[in-house]
Structure 1
Amino acid sequence: MRSRLYETAGSNGISVVKKMKSLLIEIGSEEIPARFVPKGLELLKADLTKFFDESSISYGTISEYATPRRLALLIDVAEKQEDRTISSTGPSKKAAYDKDGNPTKAATGFARSLGIDVSELTIRETDKGDYVSATVEKKGSPTIDVLSEELPKIISSLKLPKSMRWGDSSLRYFRPIQWILATLDNKVIPFELNGIKSGDVSYGHRFLSPKAVKIKESGSYLSLLKKNHVIADCNERKNMISKGIKEIESLAGCRAIEDEELLETVTNLVEHPTPVLGNFEDKYLSLPKELLITVMRSHQKYFAMEDAEGNMASSFIAISNMNTAINDTVKRGSERVLRARLEDARFYFIDDQKNKLWDLIEELKNVTFQEKLGSVYDKAERISSLSAHIADRLNPALKEKAQRASMLCKADLVTGAVGEFPELQGYMGMTYANISGEESDVATAINEHYMPRFAGDSLPSEEIGTIVSLSDKL
């Protein structure tokens, strides 16, 4: 339940409890890239609450909503600012008064900026000398008036990770802003930003219900959008996707490979999520598992599926942004697009096997590692030298294998598969090493030498991988 009461000082100095007002802000835009949706909402919330704190505006419960086309906050706020006592320090005494004690332009300007007479200024002693100061009692303004002036500044000054300008405007945002909804207790907070006037109107789903949606009461924001095929609550969309995946799993007899990061991504790609089951030809199951998953995950944002034994299934789950009425159309389209991507992957996988992995090492001489540090081939030789040094001290019996793994560890960078799917470097090297007849611990080290890739990542499982990993990072 929302806490909608706050305490403030009455005219007689005695505290009184008042009811908070409901502030609703929604910035509508062209589709924001999925990875920026959570960050944008976080920044909007942080900047707005910081402003409330600095402006002595009490606030309570904050509800956050976001889709690819909107960032929205519903906040309980006080009706007006608290009355404040503001102490300000101005110019030095020497600069504020002439030798006869008359105020200079510096003193009169400082007094004018505070809205007081120059006679009300006082002198305050500081570590740096005597300075002019003043204490002003400032009455709080109605919150709606403060927001009318400040909201355009807050929106236009958001420190977004990546932004763009459009038209002739200097305003920067993720994507061009299309509308701004701003109300306080259902009254429009009037302002204009980049030619867009604030109002009490939102918009439904781009295709299923593109009409304007008038928000007469902030409490009906979610339900009105839902009627127009927009699920504004990220958690609700996420749960809908998870539930839909479970239903498909029970029908298909196989399970989606768990992928929390992909789930977060698709949640922020759609406004009206509908999971759809698709299939592909069994011939593609001959591709390495991670290659199959990457094609579906990274390029198409599909969930790959596997059977109870962990073997890849020739099925996938796509998350549509439409309703179930066109599931068959979505299924056919998704299958057609995936088929083309899988065919590319199959071509590269077959073509890469025309050469043994060791034969590709020479090509690394044509790949620059760093201008002053030579080629990737030079890098591999340095790794090999360090690996020999470390192996001599840890386990001399592994020296030869460690050196071989070191020379091979970057060879997959010149393969077609890694060129198309860079995130598979190491894994494809291991795969091709096994196909080329390399010893299994050498092949494993090729994949594991990148570990750990980040804080908290898994460590190499075998000693050779540990040696090569250390050498690569030194």
Structure 2
Amino acid sequence: MNGENTLLIEIGTEDLPPTHLDRLVAAFQNEVLKRFKNLNLPYGKTDCFASPRRLALKIQQVPSKQPDYIAQKRGPSLKAAYKDGVPTPAAIGFAQSCNTPIQALKTLETEQGAWLLFEENIPGQPLEQILPAIIAESIESLPYPKKMRWGDSSLQFIRPIHWITLVHGNIAIEADILNLKSSQYSYGHRTHFPNKIKINHADNYLNVLRDVKVIVDYQERKNIIIEASTQIAKKLQGAAVIDDTLLDQVIGLVEWPVPMVAEFDADFLKIPKEALISSMQNHQKCFPIVSNNRLLPYFILVSNVEAADTKNIVMGNQRVMHARLEDAKFFYEQDSKSTLESRLVRLDKMIYQKDLGTLYQKTLRVAELAMFIATKIQANSNFAQRAAQLYKADLVTNMVFEFPELQGIMGSYYARNDHEADEVAIAIKEVYLPAHAKDILPATQTGVCLALAERLDTLIGIFGAGLIPSGEKDPYALRRAAMGILRIIIEKKLTLNLQELLLQAQQGFNEGIVSKDILPIVYKFCLERFKSWYQEQSVAPQVIDAVLSTQPDCPYDMSQRTLAVNHFKTLPEAQALAAANKRVKNILQKNEQNLSLDNLANVRDDLLAETAEKELFLAINALKQQTAPLLQAGQYQEALTQLAALKQPVDRFFDEVLVMVDNEALKQNRVLLLTQLYALFMQIADISKLAI
């Protein structure tokens, strides 16, 4: 199929919101193609393009006419349609609604029965007749929360639409769409080529626009910006700091990206680099340059204009940047005049959550909890308390008010300025780690204590206030908080009891606000995060269920058991032992045996009559001794590997020994022997869950 059947759709607008243009045009593409499918309109490879002033699709192999198709309408079932071979009123009414004789109706056979069926040949419509509705409906269906009207039109879109370009091959499609007349014309760069330009063929779209200084391909603009910025920074012996969110915005602001370098007064480098970087990124949409983690007095701007002399563009940006950095300098100098401690009184006027008090009250709770955790992990409790008292104080500084993303970072700088202990200053920054699933963890013990305490207090408090996450809604980021707790405890190999930590956190609240009843709900919530985390690491759900069945309290221990069982599952003996344990579990449950497995009675060796049960008895006792030190040391994988040796005696036992014998003493002794077997594995996990 050649380019004669390539269809170009371009929606020309006023400047679109710069963020997520790629997602917006992808949604437009999905809406259009969904309607193509609904109308049985074939199509081939589809490309989508987006720039600040346009959304475009290039769809190959689109015919000039919709194929004819057969429309089907199902009527009543045959049982309801005929009685004694005579059409019923239901059949007659259906035929009349289809405007056809009842004899022309067909029969549709399905698994559920037979039905009357009306089929009608529908001639396909020309492309120019069906495109207007496809485009209009697709535009109106785009998932954008804020839309606007313009002029006298009732149409709503994110920005006013100024032109629509429709070209099929080399033929213009002229149609009334969205109160505009579509044509074969588009528009070039607003500055370089503001007049309309003819798209002589749909396949030439990208080249025609490139000739008028518009790079409509989102990915191409992205590559230009990254590559040019990288080269600029390299010449300055540095690296460009290209934040993904900022890059997305910059791509959405330019149609002809021209990266260039500018500089700022090196005197500003006395200010914390994070403040300068935030100012460059947030206010000026520029990329900083760093070398060996040190900010250089340069930045990269991306112009939308190609100029013979870039001097004026650079100087203009430098003047504006100077003013912005002066603001940052002023904020830092003013903030540094007051200590963090002196700001705490203002936190008592800031509501954390209406049922949970102020931010100052939260810091008091977190301080107590951080001290408790510090004693558990042999950390400095005085540092933990001090860091917790101060970690929210930077919220009332000028710098954090202007740049909220610097919370914690600026608090760390101000703490050092106040001559607080180094570990306290670091912990004030580390409390927000990990910020996401793959983020780094706190490096200091004080940071670990504070990060755990902050998240535990948030979880207990917000759950206690009844604000439990549902579906995708999680405004307090409680899932992230729970994952942070788990990651810190597990990856730092801390033997902390999560139930104990939750109880300690709950005690920081008034019983009338947060009762102890919330603890099992929060604990279960954390276990769900644990389960999803390990499933993302390709651990089978039954492996995790096997571990959680033992109701472990320590996340690190839980993790070690999970990894051990996951390895055990790969052993050749695993499936047979899992099946045997499942059989044992069923026997115990039928005999109303207590599955808590606490204080088990000893098996009477004088009642062991069969060779197979004697062999199993000896094997269990031997492995109890061998695995005890391994279990004590948390070496679960090694313990399970040794327990795999039970396969042979277990198999022989079930082949040769009848458990449910008439002799009650013999039966109970054999049940007890199986209980000992089950208990041996249950020290690690309920491996019966692994049985297929």
**What is the TM-score when the length of structure 1 is the normalising length?**
0.86
1:165 aligns with 2:179: no
Q: Secondary structure of the residue that 2:74 maps to in structure 1?
A: strand
Q: Letter of the 1:403 partner, please give it.
A: Q
Q: What does residue 398 of structure 1 align with? A: 380
Distance 2:345 2:77 in 1: 72
1:296 to 271, 274, 280: 280
1:332 aligns with 2:319: no
Return the match for 1:342 from 325, 330, 334: 325
Quickly say closer, same or farther: Cα 1:85–1:285, change in 2 above 3 A.
same
Secondary structure at the counterpart of residue 338 of structure 1: helix
Deviations along 1:96-127, one digit per CA (max 9) or x if unpaired, are: 99999346996367426xxx566644676989
How far, CA to CA, are the matches of 1:174 and 1:357 in structure 2?
44
Report whether the alignment pairs 1:440 with 2:416: no
Residues 252, 399 of structure 1: CA spacing in aligned structure 2 closer, same or farther, 3 A cutoff?
A: closer
Q: What residue in structure 2 maps to residue 312 of structure 1?
A: 295
Structure 2 Cα separation of the partners of residues 160 and 94 of structure 1? 49
Query: Contact between 1:148 and 1:189, CA under 8 Å: does it hold in 2?
Result: no
Q: CA RMSD in A?
A: 2.9
Q: What is the CA-CA distance between 1:93 and the residue it aligns to? A: 8.8
Q: Unpaired runs of 5+ in structure 1?
A: 6-18
CA distance, structure 2, for counterparts of residue 443 and residue 26 of structure 1 = 54
SS in 1 for 2:118: strand
> What is residue 417 of structure 1 aligned with on the other side?
399
Matched residues, number: 453
Cα distance in 2, alignment partners of residues 117 and 199 from structure 1: 46
Residue of structure 1 equivalent to 2:453: 471
Q: Percent identity?
A: 37
CA contact (8 A) 1:96 1:107 kept: no
Letter in 1 for 2:158: F
- The answer as to whether partners of 1:97 and 1:107 remain within 8 angstroms in 2 is no
Letter of the structure 1 residue corresponding to residue 220 of structure 2? E
Stretch deviating more after TM superposition (140-149 or 153-162): 140-149
Partners of 2:216 and 2:70 in 1: CA distance: 41
Query: Following superposition of structure 1 onto structure 2, how do residues 451-462 of structure 1 map, counting pairs within 5 Å?
Result: 451-462=433-444
- In structure 1, the partner of 2:98 is 111
Query: Structure 1 residues 121, 464: closer, same or farther in 2, change over 3 A?
Result: farther
State whether structure 2 residue 165 is matched by structure 1 residue 181: yes
Alpha-carbon deviation of 1:38?
1.1
Q: What is the distance in 1 between the residues matched to 2:82 and 2:309?
A: 79
Change (3 A) 1:388 1:174: same
Structure-1 residue corresponding to 2:189: 205
Does residue 196 (structure 1) correspond to residue 203 (structure 2)? The answer is no
**Structure 2: stretches of 5+ with no match in the other structure:** 457-692
Give the secondary-structure state (helix, strand or coil) at the position aligned to 1:324.
coil
Alignment of 1:46 onto 2:33: no
Contact 1:23 1:185 in 2 (8 A): yes
Structure 1 distance, partners of 2:141, 2:92, is 33
Quick check: 1:402–1:464 contact (8 Å CA) kept in 2? yes
Question: In the alignment, residue 414 of structure 2 is paired with which amino acid?
Answer: Y
| Offset, 1:75 | 1.0
**Given that residues 188 and 214 in structure 2 are in contact (C-alpha distance below 8 angstroms), is that contact kept between their aligned partners in structure 1?**
yes
Instruction: Give the stretch that moved more between structures: 82-91 or 63-72.
Output: 82-91
> 2:215 aligned with 1:231, yes or no?
yes
State the secondary structure of the residue aligned to 2:55.
strand
Going from structure 1 to structure 2, the CA distance change for 1:392 and 1:134 (only over 3 Å counts) comes to farther
Larger Rg: 2
User: 1:106–1:461: structure 2 CA closer, same or farther, 3 Å change rule?
Assistant: farther
Q: SS in structure 2 opposite 1:34?
A: coil
Structure 1 range deviating more: 349-358 or 185-194:
185-194
Whether the aligned pair in 2 keeps the contact of 1:90 and 1:110 (CA below 8 Å) is no
- 2:72 corresponds in structure 1 to 87
Could you tell me which of 334, 355, 370 is aligned with 2:338? 355
Specify the alignment match of 2:50 in structure 1: 66
Q: Is the 8 A contact 1:91 1:106 kept in 2?
A: no
1:29 to 13, 17, 32: 13
What displacement does 1:193 show? Answer: 3.1
| Aligned partner of 2:263 among 276, 279, 283 | 279
8 Å CA contact retained: 1:433, 1:443? yes
In 1, the alpha carbon distance for the partners of 2:111 and 2:204 equals 57
Give the secondary-structure state (helix, strand or coil) at the position aligned to 1:205: coil
Asked whether the 8 Å contact 2:132–2:177 carries over to 1, the reply is no
Bigger proportion of residues as strand: 1
CA distance, structure 1, for counterparts of residue 81 and residue 160 of structure 2: 48
Give the counterpart of 1:370 among 340, 353, 356: 353
Question: Which whole-Å CA distance do the structure 2 matches of 1:410 and 1:465 have between them?
Answer: 14
Residue aligned with 2:282, SS: helix
The worse-fitting range, judged by mean Cα deviation, of 203-212 and 230-239 is: 230-239
Give the conservation status (yes or no) of the 8 Å contact 2:76–2:91.
no
CA distance in 2, matches of 1:105, 1:457: 69
Contact conserved, 1:147 with 1:189, CA < 8 A, in 2?
A: no
The structure-2 alpha-carbon separation of the partners of 1:472 and 1:133, relative to structure 1 and needing over 3 Å to count, comes to farther
Q: C-alpha deviations, 1:115-143, integer Å up to 9, x for none? A: x5666446769899986542334444444
Shift in Å, 1:388: 2.9
Whether the 8 Å contact between 2:169 and 2:203 is mirrored in structure 1 is no
Contact 1:305 1:316 in 2 (8 A): yes
Residues 173-228 of structure 1: CA deviation (Å, up to 9, x unaligned): 22111111112223233432332111111101111211001112112211221121
Q: Is the 8 A contact 2:175 2:182 kept in 1?
A: yes
In the TM superposition, what is the alpha-carbon distance from 1:85 to its structure 2 partner?
3.9
Structure 2: how far apart are the matches of 1:409 and 1:117? 82
Native 8 Å contact 1:203 1:210 kept in 2:
yes
Give per-residue Cα distances to partners, 1:378-422, cap 9 Å, x unaligned.
222222233233333333x43232222122111110000000111
- Secondary structure of the residue aligned to 1:60 is coil
CA distance in structure 2 between the partners assigned to 1:106 and 1:378 by the alignment: 73
Contact 2:81 2:87 in 1 (8 A): no
The alignment status of 1:153 with 2:137, answered yes or no, reads: yes
CA distance in 2, matches of 1:189, 1:260: 39
| 1:15 match | none
Which protein has greater RCO, CA pairs closer than 8 Å, 6+ apart?
1
- The amino acid of 2:448's aligned partner reads T
TM-score, scaled relative to structure 2: 0.60
Q: Does 1:426 find its partner at 2:408?
A: yes
- Is the alpha carbon distance of 1:244 and 1:110 closer, same or farther for their aligned partners in structure 2, counting shifts above 3 Å? same
- Comparing 433-442 with 76-85, greater Cα deviation is found at 76-85
The question of whether the paired residues in 2 share the 8 Å contact of 1:95 and 1:106 is answered with no
| TM-superposed deviation, 1:330 | 1.2
Change (3 A) 1:90 1:442: farther
1:312 aligned partner, one-letter code: L
Residue in 1 that maps onto 2:531: none
Between the aligned partners of 2:295 and 2:194, the Cα distance in structure 1 is 39
Alpha-carbon distance between aligned partners in 2 of 1:87 and 1:392, rounded to the nearest angstrom: 74
CA distance in 2, matches of 1:210, 1:109: 59
Secondary structure of 1:452's partner?
coil
